[in-house]
Amino acid sequence: MLTKEQAHAIAQQLKECPFCGLKPTPRIHGAGDKAVNPSARCVTPDCMGAKMPSINLDVPNDVHGWNTRTPPNGAGHRPESQ
């Protein structure tokens, strides 16, 4: 299990939301210094990122997946306008 310090350090490594450009908001709770099921997610209203599952900060694949989830054509590209 991660400590809260470790969970916060991982949360700081998360890249900005690929949809709104804001950092995901961490949810780190637990007794003492233990982080129980630490997670993070975009909390921007109506953002696509906010509709995606939370990032589990103690699951490296989740963190890696978030950090590599960038829009294929860069931020601001709107495929529906083609």
Footprint of Zn ion (CB under 5 A): 17, 19-20, 42, 44, 47, 49
Token duo for residue 21: 């450009």
> What's the Cα-to-Cα distance from 28 to each of 59, 61, 73, rounded to whole Å?
14, 18, 33
Closest CB to Zn ion among 32 and 76?
76
Closest CB to Zn ion among 47 and 56?
47
Closest CB to Zn ion among 23 and 34?
23
